[in-house]
Amino acid sequence: MTIPYLQKRGNHWRYRRKVPTALRPIIGKGEIVIPLGTTESSALQRYGRAHAQAEKLLTQAAKPIPAPLSPTALDLFRAAHKEVEAMGFNPSWGGTLEPDDGESIARDVIIDQIIDRYKLDENGDPLNISPRDLALIRALGSGTRDTPPAPTLEDAKRLYLAEAVKDNEKRRQQLDLIFRLVSDVVKLDRPIVSIRRADAREVRDHMLDGRSPASVERYLNTLRAVINFAIKEMDLTGFQNPFMGLPTGDKEKAVPDRRKRDVFTDDELARTRAYILSNARHDIQLIWRLMQNTGCRLAEITGLRVEDVRLNDVIPHIAIEWHEKRRIKTLSSHRLVPLLGDALDAAREALTSTANGEAVFPAYFRERGPDSASAALGKYVRACVTNRKVTTYSLRHRMSDLLDLAGIPEADKELVLGHTRGKEGANYGSEAARLQRAHRALEQALSYGNKAAPRGKH
């Protein structure tokens, strides 16, 4: 079998890939070459990580350079006052009536120099003055009397992007989508404190046009977070977030998540598993086996680090923890998940295939990695199962059913799946005790599944 970009030169193996001509000036070289070791086995072990590294480099280089954002009024105000201070002026100066005040005279000289660059109208005011120069004139002439403009929705969005979203491209895109919908109803240059409950309802109604209440609720949750962050960080004391508590639909008529997907029947599961183990890449096979026998989310498996796989403990397990490449959804999702049977074998194989790297599955240990793994697994599921409500995520629903049918108490079920009902005692007890309870629960569920897997719809 020929593996793309894998080459042997003399006694050394390497990953070698040409860089497209258009990307060479950006990357700074004509090809990507990554050493993979002196043996074929080491090369195959390191190939996945090298390929992921090359893919990330090419993807980043191919992204269009975004046009710089136009500064908001608040941006211009802040920049102008920083520039005035950089000129050596007193940042505490607030003007004076003294005719011989040196600070006032020096500021007026610079203001005149700025105005001299423009033609004047009949009143002596500069024509078509740039927003930057206008803000600078105000900062020079008024000093501390120049009050900042009220923060706008756009200011709130940019602050949240810089402080909370940072370089997470998926969350950045989601935020852009949400604010495009908001801007259809409320201009983003509106001051935050001018937004009223009626505006919030109009935004919600616009979002509900063609979208499910569940999707709109997610959008509004993000919007609430942005506004709350702005209230705190921009000192908008006394302002009440108008999006808080805003209903998105009749909860009694909402479709429960469990009815959006069906569970694999015995035959469907056996068929799909056999097809994946015969045709998929080795890492995809291992990911499937771990999901099937732990009930973990796909992102929890693809985001595993080598240090998270603890095979030498009394109860072998994986640790589902927050880290930069995998941000866990909720506090309850932080947990220890026991490894039994085929999941334990798959974990051993995965560590054997990992060549001293950080990630257990390096090809998917990246931003949007879970999406790529989902697409890869999804095509095998669709080849074997015609019911479109059955997806890769149905493995998690199946485990939920097995735990229920095995008679596992709800609290122990939550330890396996990482759900929570917000009960006060959910985190009581030692970590070792919780792991033992999860081990007992998972052992009973898998034992039940081997005897009689559920065939009904979830």
Q: Note down the domain range covering 243.
A: 155-252
Domain boundary among 96, 113, 145: 145
For the stretch 425-443, pLDDT in tens is 445 568 889 999 999 999 9
- Specify the pLDDT at position 325: 58
Q: Is the predicted pLDDT of residue 420 greater than 60, yes or no?
A: no
Euclidean distance between CA atoms 428 and 430, whole angstroms:
7
Q: How confident is the model at residue 250 (pLDDT cuts 50, 70, 90)?
A: low
Q: Is the predicted pLDDT of residue 69 greater than 90, yes or no?
A: no
Q: What token pair was written down for 217? A: 């609720």
- Specify the pLDDT at position 354: 73
CA 146 to chain centre: 39
- Specify the pLDDT at position 64: 76
Q: Is residue 150 part of a domain?
A: no
Give the Cβ contact number of residue 90 at 10 Å.
12
- Specify the pLDDT at position 45: 83
Q: Are residues 182 and 285 in the same domain?
A: no
- Specify the pLDDT at position 327: 53
Euclidean distance between CA atoms 440 and 429, whole angstroms:
16
On the CB side of 428, CA atoms within 13 Å amount to 6
- Specify the pLDDT at position 453: 46
H or E stretch at 269: helix 266-279
Q: Are residues 232 and 377 in the same domain?
A: no
* Rg, the chain, Cα only: 29
Q: Is the predicted pLDDT of residue 458 greater than 50, yes or no?
A: no
Q: Is residue 397 part of a domain?
A: yes
One-letter identity of residue 95: G
Q: Is the predicted pLDDT of residue 409 greater than 80, yes or no?
A: yes
Q: Is residue 260 part of a domain?
A: no
Q: What is the mean pLDDT of residues 406-410?
A: 93
- Specify the pLDDT at position 186: 94
Q: Are residues 272 and 305 in the same domain?
A: yes
- Specify the pLDDT at position 214: 86
Q: What token pair was written down for 81? A: 């006052």
**How is residue 217 annotated by DSSP?**
H
- Specify the pLDDT at position 66: 66
Q: Are residues 243 and 364 in the same domain?
A: no
Q: Is residue 67 part of a domain?
A: no
Q: Is the predicted pLDDT of residue 141 greater than 70, yes or no?
A: yes
Q: Is residue 259 part of a domain?
A: no
For the stretch 180-230, pLDDT in tens is 999 999 999 999 999 999 999 999 999 988 788 888 999 999 999 999 999
Q: What is the mean pLDDT of residues 230-242?
A: 95
- Specify the pLDDT at position 158: 96
- pLDDT greater at residue 346 or residue 4: 346
- Specify the pLDDT at position 456: 40
For the stretch 288-347, pLDDT in tens is 999 999 999 998 999 999 999 999 999 999 998 876 555 554 444 688 999 999 999 999
Task: Tell me if 261 sits within 8 A of 219, measured CB to CB.
Answer: no
Q: pLDDT above 70 covers what percent of the chain? A: 89
Q: Are residues 288 and 416 in the same domain?
A: yes
Count of the separate structural domains present in the chain: 4
3-state secondary structure of 266: helix
Give buried/exposed letters for 288-324 (b at 16+ CB in 10 A, else e).
Answer: bbbbbbbbbbbbbbbbbbeebbbeeeeebbbbbbeee
Q: Is residue 281 part of a domain?
A: yes
- Specify the pLDDT at position 422: 41
Q: Are residues 307 and 441 in the same domain?
A: yes
- pLDDT greater at residue 386 or residue 254: 386
Which long-range contacts (C-beta less than 8 Å, at least 24 apart) are formed by 247-251? 248/204, 248/208, 248/213, 248/216, 248/217, 248/220, 249/208, 249/213, 249/216, 250/213
Among the ranges 160-169, 239-248, 249-258, which has the highest mean pLDDT value?
A: 239-248
Q: Is the predicted pLDDT of residue 454 greater than 50, yes or no?
A: no
Q: Is residue 279 part of a domain?
A: yes
Q: Are residues 128 and 177 in the same domain?
A: no
Euclidean distance between CA atoms 335 and 255, whole angstroms:
28
- pLDDT greater at residue 328 or residue 455: 328
Q: Is residue 319 part of a domain?
A: yes
Contacts of 207 (CB under 8 A, 6+ apart): 181, 216, 219, 220
Question: What string of DSSP letters covers 372-439?
Answer: HHHHHHHHHHHHH---TT--TTHHHHHHHHHHHHTT--HHHHHHHH------GGGG-S-HHHHHHHHH
Euclidean distance between CA atoms 381 and 390, whole angstroms:
8
Q: How confident is the model at residue 233 (pLDDT cuts 50, 70, 90)?
A: very high
Contacts of 267 (CB under 8 A, 6+ apart): none
pTM for the whole structure: 0.55
- Specify the pLDDT at position 252: 46
Q: What is the mean pLDDT of residues 14-19?
A: 93
Residue with tokens 């505006």, as numbered in its chain:
199
